[in-house]
Amino acid sequence: MTMGMHIIMELYGCPAELIAHVPSVKHIFDEIIRKANINRISEAYHQFKPYGVTGIVLLEESHISVHTWPEFGYVAMDIYTCGSEEKAIKAAKIAEKLFMPEKVLKKELIRGLEHETSLARRFL
List the one residue out of 104, 102, 30 whose CA is nearest residue 64: 30
- The answer to whether residue 67 is catalytic is yes
- The answer to whether residue 65 is catalytic is no
Q: Cβ(12)–Cβ(106) under 8 Å?
A: no
**Beta strand extents in 1-124 (DSSP E only):** 4-12, 40-47, 53-59, 62-69, 74-81, 103-111, 121-123
Q: Which of 6, 14, 82, 84 is catalytic?
A: 82
Q: Which of 21, 62, 65, 118 is catalytic?
A: 62
List the one residue out of 91, 71, 67 whose CA is nearest residue 13: 71
Q: Cβ(75)–Cβ(101) under 8 Å?
A: yes
Residues noted as catalytic: 62, 67, 82
